[in-house]
Amino acid sequence: MFGRRKKKGAAEDAAGEAEQVVDSVDTEADEEEAERERVRLEPEPRPDGPWDSSEVRDPAEGRVDLGGLFVPGVDGMELRVEVAGDAIVAATVVLRDSAVQLQAFAAPKREGIWGEVREEIAGGITQQGGIVDEVEGPLGWELRAQVPVQLPDGTGGFQVVRFIGVDGPRWFLRGVISGQGAVQPQAAGVLEQIFRDTVVVRGEGPMAPRDPIVLKLPNDAQMVPEGVQQEEGSRFSGGMGQLQRGPEITEVR
């Protein structure tokens, strides 16, 4: 009798352990599904921008026309375009000791990609030995990272950068803030406002998600080789200044 009770108890214990294993597997599956749903959320409202071209009466007013982007102009800024192959795919606004790189991509119609992109960027930086924190900043969720770089003397160091992003209708705008605006985020107010006031021109043609929205030079732009000293009068001050061609974009994927 005692033996039968013992066997029954063992069977119940085994069943309980099996249930715990199943519950654990189910919980992990639920968490994975919840994580997938988190990064596939529909784009949130953008009451403060950045803007779609359909939301702005005159995108060119106070902005530089780069085709796929209309970038706000502010006093004292330099505007650099950056290339991948023969295509212009990004613009960088340099303002004193800070900069923000702007790059727009195609995105699904009803699915935001910023959550997924954040995870990929964070994973790539971590694999390189960098440090990444995901925080909620003035523009929503962003990454504040220390990215490994080689210093001029050949030794290794870190560059502090902020990755910001916003999902729009069928597009995604990413910004990378560097310089003092990344080291001291409270000093990046003007760069953040430039990002907010940027207008994205997605176009109606078919594009695969994550394809870069190609940019163009303004009709009156003049190219200045990188490293050439510009005169003070060539800086942007409400009109169109000269453009510098920056280095090709290096993405962390």
pLDDT at 5 over 70: no
The pLDDT of residue 201: 96
- For the chain, what percent of residues have pLDDT higher than 70? 68
Better-scored residue on pLDDT, 122 or 238: 122
DSSP three-state, residue 86:
coil
Q: Tens of pLDDT along 41-90?
A: 666 677 788 999 999 999 999 999 999 999 999 999 999 998 888 889 89
pLDDT of residue 85: 84
**Contact call for residues 138 and 192 (beta carbons, < 8 A):** yes
pLDDT at 125 over 50: yes
The contacts of residue 43 (CB under 8 Å, 6+ apart) are: 107, 112, 167, 168, 169
Sort strands 131-137 and 199-200 into parallel, antiparallel or unpaired.
unpaired
pLDDT at 245: 40
- Strand pairing report for 243-245 and 223-224: parallel
Show contacts of 91-94: CB within 8 Å, 24+ apart.
91/66, 91/215, 92/246, 93/191, 93/194
Question: Which tops the pLDDT comparison, 250 or 133?
Answer: 133
Query: What is 51-245's CATH number?
Result: 3.40.1000
Q: How far apart are CA 230 and CA 152, in angstroms?
A: 23
Q: For residues 73-112, b (16+ Cβ closer than 10 Å) or e, as one string?
A: bbeebbbbbbeeeeebbbbbbbbeebbbbbbbbbbbeebb
Task: Please determine, for residue 27, whether its predicted confidence score (pLDDT) is greater than 60.
Answer: no
Q: Measure the CA–CA gap between 180 and 178, rounded to whole angstroms.
A: 7
Location of structure tokens 């990609």: 113
What mean pLDDT do residues 135-150 have? 94
Apex CA 28: angle with CA 27 and CA 32, to 5°? Answer: 115
Residue 1 is predicted with a pLDDT of 44
Whole-number pLDDT of residue 185: 87
Q: Supply the pLDDT for residue 196.
A: 96
DSSP 10-24: HHHHHHHHHHHHHHH
Cβ atoms 78, 236 nearer than 8 A: yes
Burial class (CB in 10 A: 0-12, 13-18, 19+), 14: exposed
Please state whether beta strands 199-200 and 171-179 pair in parallel, antiparallel, or not at all (unpaired): unpaired
Q: Is the dihedral of CA 66, 68, 72, 77 positive or negative?
A: negative
